[in-house]
Amino acid sequence: MNRTRFQQALISVGICLALIILVFVVYGQTRDHQFVNLDDIEYIVKNPHVQEGVSPESIGWAFSSFYAANWHPLTWISHMVDVELFSNDAGSHHLMSAGIHAGSAILLFLVFSLMTGATMTSALLAALFAVHPLRVESVAWASERKDVLSGFLWMATLLFYAYYARKPSAGRLSLVILGFGLGLLAKPMLVTLPFVLLLLDVWPLQRWRMSKEEGEPLSRLLKEKLPLFFLVALSSIITVMAQSRGGAVSSTNSVPLISRGLNALSSYGAYFRQTFWPSDLAVFYPHDALLKNHSWTDLLPTALLFLVVAVLVTTLSVVWLRRFPELFVGWFWFLGTLFPVIGLVQVGSQGMANRYAYLSVIGLTIPVVFLLRRLALGSETGEASRMRCGMMSGMAILLVGATTLAGTLQASTWKSTRSLWMHAVKVTEGNYVAHTALGVDLFKNGEVDAAATHFKKALSFNPHYDKAHVDLGVWLFERGELAEARFHFEAALNENPGNVRARVNLGVAHAKEGALKEAMFSFQRAIEIDPDEAEAHHYLGLLYLSQGRSQEGATHVKRAFALKPNRPDIRRSIEQLDPTLLK
């Protein structure tokens, strides 16, 4: 190795170390962060399959389960590995995600450095990826491991592809297919990766033929990617099955098509704005179409504004394709990778989500950093050139510094459930999900009246939100207002017949009122929906025992104990029924 290559290697190693430091400047604080009441408990702490750690049974479950309307077996296995290593120490789970994210930043740097030869520009691209506030939700939220894990595999696949593009061969292509397949097992959002590879064929790889003298024809570039498109089709089918069975896909009745289209344009505009001015970021943004007194016309101004911007940028990117290919590639990277989650097929009740932008806004960053490079190089020589380069370098340092500060502040909002939802309530309007979740946290900490205020506020924004009905019903039940509590449990079931928690609480309310037949039906229905619902088994077992049906009662109480052996009321029932089971 000559001296120049050795120096380049040292510079690359130094940049990789700097990227690791940047990531932990932002995310080192998560060592002291807690799990939050947004999926973390259900996905990790109370998920018996994850808590089992890595075993043949748990791995089998990971590949066969559509738990929470998702299919991402590799992500489940990564959670199991964390439990094996750290048990339920939340800080260690968070730091593992931060470490994976740091690895992705390093791979992004290596990929663009290899493809463009622009070492410092690629370092700036990777640094902005590492610390940008739009990445915080994916990295600081333990349940969102699928983003950072799939992102790492996305970057690895890009690296394999850059290696393949230098000298195409079946062996090198197999690495691309392997990386992509593993990425889909972590999160199906990677279905857009073959599209991005085609963009990279345009620039910087310059494989796409733009004249008779250079490059490969589009047909050949598409043909080599057929195995990737096959994996896309397979993953898409599985994803639709998972989300349909989980009831995550909203009908056109709840969110009309015109609202979906306008929300998609508005969301594109919001992601665009947040990339360059990342303020008022929240864990949940309510869909305007689901808010009381809102209609699709409320989305019209922002949708039209982005449409104008999109037409302008698209036109410029096509016209300047040869002169400024970075704009073409970056712009269509941004548009294309967001398309599956932009809301045309509505999954969940959010209007948009920061985590969806984890990989997408790299596209907007690409033309910015390479424009800075063009400005730094310029056409002058001597003193003017050095001055220009110094100015651009200073601007890059300021940009990374400001983004690091913003990312650090955003990561601090994930310290606890309380801080997360208080921030969301502060920076958004009509956020019924945030008010409900904040109310739940207040209720668990004994601030029950303050909690009820948030439940009522949530329903004032969205009277159809079943979870807020259930939580307000629990508060009313605790106050002895049984008829009002039952009204809210029934309202929740009218909105979502599959709400198991509403059915269990309705059964408890019926039992309290002496309507034992209705109570029994509610518990039985809850078990039909979720056979592993321990509370329903427990209460149904107690009802059977009270009626002298000892065998049936014992079966359900024992089943409840098998599901939740550490729950005090279930342990007391077992102690009365068969104390030997506690040994």
How far is 238 from 173, CA to CA, in rounded Å? 24
224-240 exposure pattern, b = at least 16 Cβ within 10 A, e = fewer? bbeebeebbeebeeebe
Segment 54-64 shows an average pLDDT of 95
Q: What is the pLDDT of residue 378?
A: 74
Q: What is the pLDDT of residue 1?
A: 45
Which tops the pLDDT comparison, 249 or 43? 43
How confident is residue 346, by pLDDT bands cut at 50, 70 and 90? low
Segment 540-563 shows an average pLDDT of 92
Bin 68: left if φ > 0, else alpha if -120 < ψ < 50, else beta: left
Q: Is the pLDDT of residue 308 over 60?
A: yes
Segment 189-206 shows an average pLDDT of 96
Q: What is the pLDDT of residue 563?
A: 86
Question: What confidence tens digit (pLDDT) does each residue in 400-429 have?
Answer: 999 999 999 999 999 999 999 999 999 999
Q: What is the pLDDT of residue 172?
A: 97
- Report which of 464, 417, 403, 466 is spatially closest to residue 445, judged by C-alpha positions: 417
DSSP 174-188: HHHHHHHHHHHHH-G
Q: Is the pLDDT of residue 468 over 90?
A: yes
How far is 111 from 124, CA to CA, in rounded Å? 13
The residues of the chain that CATH labels 1.25.40.10 are: 418-582
From 29-33, 233-237, 243-247, 441-445, the region with the lowest mean pLDDT: 243-247
Task: Spell out where 312-460 has E strands.
Answer: 350-352
Question: What confidence tens digit (pLDDT) does each residue in 105-147 have?
Answer: 999 999 999 999 999 999 999 999 999 999 999 999 999 999 9
Compute CA distances 316 → 11, 329, 441, whole Å: 35, 12, 49
What's the N-to-C CA distance of the chain in angstroms? 68
Segment 438-467 shows an average pLDDT of 96
Average pLDDT, the chain: 92
CA 104 centroid distance within chain: 16
Q: Is the pLDDT of residue 249 over 60?
A: no
Residue 323 DSSP class: T
CB atoms within 10 A of CB 385: 14
How confident is residue 251, by pLDDT bands cut at 50, 70 and 90? very low
Q: What is the pLDDT of residue 31?
A: 97
Q: What is the pLDDT of residue 252?
A: 45
How far is 132 from 411, CA to CA, in rounded Å? 10
Segment 493-506 shows an average pLDDT of 95
Segment 463-468 shows an average pLDDT of 95
Taking a C-beta distance cutoff of 8 angstroms, is the pair 552, 542 a contact? no
Q: What is the pLDDT of residue 88?
A: 96
Q: What is the pLDDT of residue 270?
A: 95
Architecture of domain 418-582: Alpha Horseshoe (1.25)
User: What's the 3-state SS for 132-161?
Assistant: CHHHHHHHHCHHHHHHHHHHHHHHHHHHHH
Q: What is the pLDDT of residue 305?
A: 95
Q: What is the pLDDT of residue 379?
A: 60
Question: What confidence tens digit (pLDDT) does each residue in 74-83 have?
Answer: 999 999 999 9
Q: Is the pLDDT of residue 2 over 70?
A: no
Q: What is the pLDDT of residue 254?
A: 61
